[in-house]
Amino acid sequence: MRAFTYERATSPVQAAAAAAANPDAKFIAGGTNLLDLMKLEIETPAHLIDVNGLGLDTIEATSEGGLRIGALVRNTDLAADERVRRDYGVLSRAILAGASGQLRNRATTAGNLLQRTRCPYFYDTAQPCNKRQPGSGCSAIGGFSRQLGIVGTSEACIATNPSDMAVAMRVLDATVETVKPDATTRRIPVAEFHRLPGDTPQIETVLERGEFITAVTLPAPVGGKHLYRKVRDRASYAFALVSVAAVIQQDGTGRIAVGGVAHKPWRVEAAESELPRGAKVAAERLLAGATPTHENAFKVPLVERTLGSVLDEARS
């Protein structure tokens, strides 16, 4: 790990201003992803801004009937919150499907949204990776791609977003709240928060330099049956090959978002109108234009089967 300097932020605006003033600075809270990347010298920040003392660790009801989740709420606390378990069960289930208890005790809401891909070539500094070194090439294209993306990919990158929580946030239409160095604030629909790779896969979100996440807001509960199904190579501590977050109503209508297939949580609202017709039709609409590799083409039928299993459970 390379040497770095360190400071403790005193306010969200001060943290944002400090990060904007130093292009080599990074925010640190739980550190469950950043510290690993620093040890591998994939991330090499010269300065760390500790944001743990900013008090953004509460979950509060909003006047619109939803919840405002502080950026520093730990994953364990979010999944265990009585209101989340009762009204946003898909979110609680998604969080508990991720990582391990020890990591969930440290990982934060904002950090979970910002975690970087687990593509093996991103982690192997001996291999070209456009996300790690822009312009160097994508080793995954033509390489080992079993775990990687099948939709929304580009010639520059086929990596996937690893977050379980983000898939549930997408199906719930969450909003990310931020503050900028000049103290102006912004509300970003989670649907727009993560970017597709295009020709700049190293730019993973729409955040501007120094912009700091303060909270994530959930709208009023939508009811229905909340389900999260994660298919992975082993029963725990593994990233999704495919995951499905769903909120299904009694009449068979609902919302679905898929993880493990794209650079961002994948939701196509037009596909949701096909849910009453069954998983096959909905999955075809959801994955229209998919370009799988020969190693991950199995994800196309796996999405259909996983969605079918979720719909069967919703009807039971």
pLDDT at 1: 82
The answer for residues whose C-beta is within 8 angstroms of residue 301's C-beta and 6 or more apart is none
pLDDT at 304: 98
pLDDT at 193: 98
pLDDT at 302: 98
The closest of 256, 249, 259, 291 to 271, measured between CA atoms, is 256
Residues 153 and 160 sit within 8 Å (Cβ to Cβ) = no
Q: Which residues of the chain have a pLDDT value below 50?
A: none
pLDDT at 236: 85
pTM of the model: 0.97
pLDDT at 237: 86
- Pull the structure tokens for residue 215: 């909270």
pLDDT at 298: 98
pLDDT at 123: 97
Q: Which residue has the tokens 């390489």?
A: 143
114, exposed or middle or buried, with CB in 10 Å at 0-12, 13-18, 19+? Answer: buried
Residue 307 amino acid letter: L
How far from the centroid of its chain's Cα atoms is residue 205's Cα?
10
Taking the CB of residue 269, how many other CB atoms lie within 10 A of it?
9
Element (H, E) at 283: helix 279-286
In the chain, the DSSP E strands lie at 5-8, 25-28, 47-50, 59-61, 67-70, 175-179, 185-189, 212-218, 225-231, 242-248, 254-259
